[in-house]
Structure 1
């Protein structure tokens, strides 16, 4: 027995016994293991300054006088409760979530190699924020899967009117400007109602908000199929917007508490996969449903059912604690003057500018891509939906998955890294979409290829902007921040894009007096999108470049205020 250090008590399995003893030079900061470690574990009990290791049986740790607070993987001192560890001498006690992981690897090395490797610098906790959430009963994977499914339905339901533009125009005698108004009315309400709902998400249960929102927008999606006039359809779509406005603030706030900063980009990318996949599913199915049933109303009836099922599933999830994924401690008290605090974050101002440009382009494309394929390229409704699903839907899957990984890697070097990645992608997307829209009517395949590449790059905006909000805004204000961000972007971007594109289309078509009515409609729409889309993408890139200049400073202020 070495002075001051007791061997680990024998638990009846002598072959797996490990001892704490000094090395040959008398330095007790190293560990020598004769055999693989025992299955016996110890739990860390938190004290004011020091953490003492004690066996789960309640007996004193044989090396308790050497045990102290342990650094986490970010270098900050942290204390953990009920964390399985291996008894070691001093700060080199090894921590492991599973027996036989790192310890078994050490045991198989030569004694000198084990001794040299297992120094004090090797001691760190391997528990990530997601691991701690799992221990608290909050499973990140199933929650993210439900959020993804809800987001998919969110975009599926809102995309239906954009696919049935021609049937709606035929039944109600509408112009392109009125079609744009149908989308704009939804977007305006979505943006305005989202602000109080975002504030509500910072104060109340996000799980309940998500469930109620899903039920609301699913029911009114089904009721949309009962509309008898354009005015009635417009009013019902406004109510759909109220329900859908509850999702983004609550979902993004929850993502911020489920995943730490260095994994948040991928998590947001997976959440935002609901956008392109929702578009793909809608563009691939709504046209076929309309032709199969002989009416555009059937698509609304069918779309209402899945949302009600997802709403029920949300009632069974366990909501994460606010700030659970932050590396530094955060306060859970009420924030005074929340809007004043957020308006002082310069990064948000630039992100809003980027969002305006992105939403103008996105909503113009989503609203008029199917009519563009029908008018300019002469495709049928199902084929137009299929090609639109490829160009702006399937591309998003690759764009969000790859973009999320690249953005997270860039953020490990600098908080501004992911924002620069998004800006660079948008700068490449603008000329590609412009080149595709300048192609003639005989080059539909080339159009699909070039526009798809450009729109794939456009999706890098989402994996840059949404994680950047969580990087500069504390957990208690994230729902409010997202709602303000979305309100501004939808009011000035999403609502403007379809109306602007539709109005320009009507004007250019009216000016083409030397063309037939169908040719003029195709010419007007293509020329309108050629102007609106590339210019909007350049505006979004400028916003992200501005945000990148301030994100590091604003992140430091957030941590200082926590």
Structure 2
């Protein structure tokens, strides 16, 4: 398995790669489970007599709990100086709540279980990315963190619907939830045996030099850091783009553009693959170009996703290619969510900072915007949510110009080109 210690920097079996893979699968399975109720609703809705409003409430409650929990438990992991001691129990918990979702028999039971699911899943991204940034080499930091977050596209949005709908069709929606919970149990044991907290790997001299725990008196530093406020604003706007677009794109394709269900599935699957590809390619580019220019570029590319969908009515192949390419906007998410906040502060703040950015984005983009976009669609037509999404990405691109660059390659370049003063 992956080694911990003084392994060769070029060896694939070094801990840096091991922690990236562990967090990739952990977050990917978490996101698959988060979306499982959406994929399984066509099966459980008629059985339990749920309507669309009740589905929306289930999704919103999970989003609210997810956002608040991520900030709270991310902060706790910073204060105790341990990622593993928080990640292990919540990984076990979200598997348990997935199994319980499969035995729910009423709306109240399902709503309560999914709320607890949000509490258990919300901290995974802040803690996972804090673990990755602590063990990443500078030249691969953006790629590593982007690769972890891209798992939501490959596992959550591509593999998840294929597996869960197949299981629900062949067996039952109950079995779908049971299947969704099994990977979390597997990852619990993988993390138990192979994950190492960075402070456990440091010598006494390193621990004395690098404070690894967040102290109460340090807490205001987070709110005095300009990049944190800027990334919170970008998170709210880019999650406006994400949720307004992804919530209404399938309905737009079927009801407005008159594609069949399978055709719509092919187009959205291409978007899912684009989410995976650009989710790590964008941060990789930022390792070479810098975080700010990459975030500006891909924010404006994100505008094209809803605009092209609203204006172009091509074949399934054409729309699939457009969907794959314009989902390049997903490259922004690892950057504003984890990379820039993580590089703007010392490692002991990362869980709190990422949890804070996630909370603001989820509360505005994930909770409020779908309802606002739905009202706009009812009054102005199904194109209205697409224009709301485009506006969110466009404003985000302009705000990104105000970021302070954090990429090591750009900061080194700036230091090297600063003229020295002669005495």
**Aligned partner (choices 265, 282, 304) of residue 403 of structure 1:** 282
Query: What does residue 111 of structure 2 align with?
Result: 234
Per-residue deviation, 1:533: 1.7
Query: What does residue 420 of structure 2 align with?
Result: none
Per-residue deviation, 1:210: 1.6
Cα distance in structure 2, aligned partners of 1:538 and 1:320: 39
1:180–1:499 Cα contact (<8 Å) kept: no
Query: What does residue 180 of structure 2 align with?
Result: 303
Matched, 1:212 2:89: yes
Query: What does residue 147 of structure 1 align with?
Result: 23
Cα distance in structure 2, aligned partners of 1:500 and 1:302: 34
- Structure 1 stretch 352-361 or stretch 200-209: which is displaced more? 200-209
Matched, 1:389 2:257: no
> Residues 496-553 of structure 1: CA distance to partner in whole angstroms, max 9, x if unpaired?
2332333333445xxxxxxxxxxxxxxx4x324322221221233233222247999x
Cα distance in structure 1, aligned partners of 2:93 and 2:318: 41
Instruction: Report the secondary structure of 2:193's partner residue.
Output: coil
- Answer 1 or 2: which has greater helix percent: 2
What runs of 5+ residues in structure 1 fail to find an aligned partner?
A: 1-128, 411-416, 509-523, 557-562
Matched, 1:159 2:35: yes
Largest Rg, 1 or 2: 1
Alignment of 1:240-259 (within 5 A): 240-259=117-136
Total equivalences in the alignment = 397
Alignment of 1:114-129 (within 5 A): none
1:358–1:493 Cα contact (<8 Å) kept: yes
Query: What does residue 499 of structure 1 align with?
Result: 371
Distance of aligned partners of 1:539 and 1:473 in 2 relative to their CA distance in 1, 3 Å threshold: same
> Residues 121-148 of structure 1: CA distance to partner in whole angstroms, max 9, x if unpaired?
xxxxxxxx9858999x972222221111
Distance of aligned partners of 1:236 and 1:300 in 2 relative to their CA distance in 1, 3 Å threshold: same
Matched, 1:454 2:326: yes
Instruction: Report the secondary structure of 1:205's partner residue.
Output: coil
**Aligned partner (choices 158, 176, 179) of residue 280 of structure 1:** 158
> Residues 4-44 of structure 1: CA distance to partner in whole angstroms, max 9, x if unpaired?
xxxxxxxxxxxxxxxxxxxxxxxxxxxxxxxxxxxxxxxxx
What runs of 5+ residues in structure 2 fail to find an aligned partner?
A: 413-423
Cα distance in structure 2, aligned partners of 1:205 and 1:276: 28
Per-residue deviation, 1:383: 5.3
Instruction: Report the secondary structure of 2:105's partner residue.
Output: coil
Query: What does residue 519 of structure 1 align with?
Result: none
**Aligned partner (choices 163, 167, 180) of residue 56 of structure 2:** 180
Per-residue deviation, 1:463: 3.7
Matched, 1:469 2:341: yes
2:274–2:325 Cα contact (<8 Å) kept: yes
Cα distance in structure 2, aligned partners of 1:288 and 1:379: 22
Distance of aligned partners of 1:234 and 1:130 in 2 relative to their CA distance in 1, 3 Å threshold: farther
Query: What does residue 230 of structure 2 align with?
Result: 350
1:148–1:271 Cα contact (<8 Å) kept: yes
Matched, 1:431 2:309: no
> Residues 472-512 of structure 1: CA distance to partner in whole angstroms, max 9, x if unpaired?
1111111111111111111122222332333333445xxxx
Distance of aligned partners of 1:361 and 1:432 in 2 relative to their CA distance in 1, 3 Å threshold: closer
Instruction: Report the secondary structure of 2:274's partner residue.
Output: helix
Cα distance in structure 1, aligned partners of 2:291 and 2:34: 29
Higher relative contact order (CA 8 A, sep 6+): 2
Distance of aligned partners of 1:445 and 1:130 in 2 relative to their CA distance in 1, 3 Å threshold: farther
Matched, 1:336 2:216: yes
Distance of aligned partners of 1:286 and 1:380 in 2 relative to their CA distance in 1, 3 Å threshold: farther
Cα distance in structure 1, aligned partners of 2:253 and 2:384: 14
Cα distance in structure 2, aligned partners of 1:349 and 1:343: 7
TM-score of the pair, normalised by structure 2: 0.83
Cα distance in structure 2, aligned partners of 1:480 and 1:237: 24
1:225–1:301 Cα contact (<8 Å) kept: yes
Per-residue deviation, 1:420: 1.7
Alignment of 1:360-379 (within 5 A): 360-378=240-258
Instruction: Report the secondary structure of 1:331's partner residue.
Output: coil
Cα distance in structure 2, aligned partners of 1:551 and 1:261: 8
TM-score of the pair, normalised by structure 1: 0.64
